[in-house]
């Protein structure tokens, strides 16, 4: 049962379209996924259906299938993402080589979508203030083979102070009352109240104020929610523009968004295959350029150099960052990260031991090939055994990249007869 106060407001908001809107909430929801260009060419899969119009890598899939259980999901070949949730990144339009910030990034759907569009080039900061959700974000960054991302667990205001005017594009997918997810999530209905709407609006204003400081002059800020509440959508944007005259709205004509005032765009579930979403595109026309320190990297240790030579691994442009015994490869454009709560400063290469190097799972997922690689059919008994943590047959010796079909999924270490399993214990099934 939908809240009465919500229904009364929606009837006023929609007018003649109200009944059609109610009927749409009774229909089964469409489910979608987004293929990951960082893992190469998308495979043909029998449960994939029609394309999502606003995202070239997005597709609807058969609701009776369970793609989250397929080995390709663990290999980072695709991300399960609600179709409308793909639209804000389409409006953000991130480009390779840019500096981009996803300020409220967990669990990582929009962040990994941004990363795919950046093609591994440039610098991506993805932040989540909640520590538990930040860990989930970091895990999805790893699974989706993102190498050029700094994952932080910070208050947005702290990032604004540290990196003013640094980013070409900033996404604020703000925490909200979740009205657009009523069909998808029953908890969104039970947790809703007008007080929640007002609380969210207050929090959104604070986040937007921080986001404004992060955008460089000439840069783009996209604000999005999954709610219909004007207090959290067009009214929030109006208040922001009044407080920040250095920004002006951009109205982008698209066939799937219904335009509202102040550069707002709304997606209605009775007009498309997807849930409810709102997004506003804001351009920063004023402000000053800021000089932010970009430190150089550390010298790559001998253990890594030896391992990389043996395996034939070539890293992209970047710099080395050591976290204790763990070695990361960070984007060249990553600024100073001291005094920040950092979850992941780029691609984790592995762990430095006294006389050797142990490669990280993240490195395996990022690689598409190396000198020693073993391919098993995605649905083979060997792959099932590997995902379970068992040894698998192989004539290879030493470290070996394990692939499910054409897609890397982890490490093994061979003795000429079998591969000792190095698939992370927390992921085994």
> Cα–Cα distance between 72 and 69 in angstroms, integer?
8
| Beta pairing, strands 277-284 & 78-80 | unpaired
Mean pLDDT of 32-37: 98
> Cα–Cα distance between 301 and 182 in angstroms, integer?
52
Written as six digits, the tokens of 333 are 């454009």
CA distances from 389 to 18, 177, 306, 411, 418 (A): 53, 41, 27, 11, 13
Instruction: Tell me the domains of the chain and their CATH numbers.
Output: 4-284 (3.40.50.150), 368-429 (2.30.130.60)
CA distances from 351 to 11, 222, 328, 332, 357 (A): 58, 38, 9, 21, 6
**Of the candidate ranges 15-24, 131-140, 147-156, 248-257, the one whose mean pLDDT is the lowest:** 248-257
pLDDT for residue 258: 84
Cross-strand bridge partners of residue 220: 169, 283
> Cα–Cα distance between 102 and 95 in angstroms, integer?
14
- pLDDT tens-digit profile of 133-191? 999 999 999 999 999 999 999 999 999 999 999 999 999 999 999 999 998 888 889 99
Query: Average pLDDT over the chain, rounded to whole?
Result: 95
> Cα–Cα distance between 247 and 57 in angstroms, integer?
31
pLDDT for residue 11: 96
324, pLDDT greater than 90: no
Confidence band, pLDDT 50/70/90 cuts, at residue 254: confident
Mean pLDDT of 42-46: 94
Q: Is residue 110 a contact partner of residue 173, using CB atoms and an 8 Å limit? A: yes
276, pLDDT greater than 90: yes
pLDDT for residue 406: 96
pLDDT for residue 284: 97
Burial of 416 per CB tally in 10 Å (0-12, 13-18, 19+)? exposed
> Cα–Cα distance between 400 and 320 in angstroms, integer?
23
Cross-strand bridge partners of residue 321: 328
289, pLDDT greater than 80: no
Catalogue the active-site residues: 226
Residues contacting 122, CB < 8 A, separation 6+: 94, 95, 96, 97, 98, 99, 100, 148, 331, 333
Mean pLDDT of 118-125: 97
Written as six digits, the tokens of 316 are 């992209």
Written as six digits, the tokens of 390 are 């068992």
Between 21 and 255, the more confident residue is: 21
> Cα–Cα distance between 338 and 325 in angstroms, integer?
18
pLDDT for residue 9: 96
Q: Is residue 57 a contact partner of residue 40, using CB atoms and an 8 Å limit? A: no
Helices (H) then strands (E): counts for the chain: 13, 23
Residues contacting 227, CB < 8 A, separation 6+: 176, 177, 178, 179, 180, 197, 200, 233, 276, 278
Confidence band, pLDDT 50/70/90 cuts, at residue 73: very high
- pLDDT tens-digit profile of 372-404? 999 999 999 999 999 999 999 999 999 999 999
Mean pLDDT of 334-358: 94
Mean pLDDT of 51-63: 96
263, pLDDT greater than 90: no
Cross-strand bridge partners of residue 295: none
Cross-strand bridge partners of residue 269: none
Q: Is residue 260 a contact partner of residue 303, using CB atoms and an 8 Å limit? A: no
Q: Is residue 113 a contact partner of residue 86, using CB atoms and an 8 Å limit? A: yes
Mean pLDDT of 244-250: 95
Q: Is residue 121 a contact partner of residue 148, using CB atoms and an 8 Å limit? A: yes
> Cα–Cα distance between 208 and 236 in angstroms, integer?
9
pLDDT for residue 393: 96
pLDDT for residue 255: 81
- pLDDT tens-digit profile of 83-106? 999 999 999 999 999 999 999 999
- Which 3 state secondary structure label does DSSP give 423? coil
**Of the candidate ranges 19-23, 231-235, 257-261, 318-322, the one whose mean pLDDT is the lowest:** 257-261
Question: How many angstroms from the chain centroid is the CA of residue 426?
Answer: 21
CA distances from 159 to 30, 151, 324, 339, 398 (A): 36, 12, 24, 11, 43
**Of the candidate ranges 9-18, 127-136, 288-297, the one whose mean pLDDT is the lowest:** 288-297
């Amino acid at each position: 049962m939908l809240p009465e106060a919500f229904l009364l407001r929606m009837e006023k908001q929609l007018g003649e379209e109200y009944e059609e809107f109610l009927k749409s909430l009774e229909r089964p929801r469409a489910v979608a996924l987004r293929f990951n260009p960082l893992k190469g060419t998308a495979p043909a899969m029998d449960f994939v259906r029609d394309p999502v119009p606003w995202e070239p890598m997005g597709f609807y899939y058969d609701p009776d299938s369970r793609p989250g259980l397929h080995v390709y999901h663990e290999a980072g070949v695709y991300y399960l993402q609600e179709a409308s949730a793909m639209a804000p990144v389409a409006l953000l339009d991130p480009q390779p080589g840019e500096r981009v910030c996803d300020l409220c990034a967990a669990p990582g759907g929009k962040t990994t979508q941004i990363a795919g569009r950046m093609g591994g080039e440039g610098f991506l900061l993805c932040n989540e203030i909640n520590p538990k959700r930040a860990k989930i974000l970091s895990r999805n960054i790893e699974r989706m083979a993102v190498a050029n991302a700094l994952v932080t667990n910070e208050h947005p205001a702290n990032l604004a102070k540290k990196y003013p005017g640094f980013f070409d594009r900033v996404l604020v997918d703000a925490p909200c009352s979740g009205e657009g997810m009523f069909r998808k999530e029953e908890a969104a209905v039970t947790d809703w109240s007008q007080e929640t709407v007002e609380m969210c609006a207050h929090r959104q204003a604070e986040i937007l104020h921080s986001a404004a400081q992060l955008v460089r002059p000439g840069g783009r800020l996209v604000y999005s929610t999954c709610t219909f509440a004007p207090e959290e959508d067009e009214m929030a944007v109006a208040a922001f523009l009044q407080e920040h005259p250095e920004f002006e709205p951009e109205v982008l004509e698209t066939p799937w968004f219904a335009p509202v005032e102040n550069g707002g765009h709304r997606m209605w579930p009775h007009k498309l295959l997807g849930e409810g979403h709102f997004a506003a595109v804001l351009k920063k026309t004023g402000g000053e350029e800021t000089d932010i320190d970009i430190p150089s990297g550390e010298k790559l240790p001998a253990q890594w150099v030896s391992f990389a030579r043996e395996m034939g691994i070539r890293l992209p442009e970047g710099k080395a960052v050591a976290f204790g015994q763990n070695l990361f490869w960070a984007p060249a454009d990553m600024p100073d990260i001291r005094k920040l709560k950092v979850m992941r400063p780029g691609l984790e290469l592995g762990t430095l031991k006294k006389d050797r190097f142990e490669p990280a799972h993240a490195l395996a997922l990022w690689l598409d090939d190396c000198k020693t690689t073993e391919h098993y059919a995605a649905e083979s008994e060997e792959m099932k055994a590997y995902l379970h943590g068992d040894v698998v047959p192989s004539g290879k010796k030493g470290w070996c990249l394990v692939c499910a079909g054409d897609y890397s999924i982890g490490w093994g270490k061979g003795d000429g007869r079998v591969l000792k399993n190095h698939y992370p214990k927390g992921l085994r099934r």
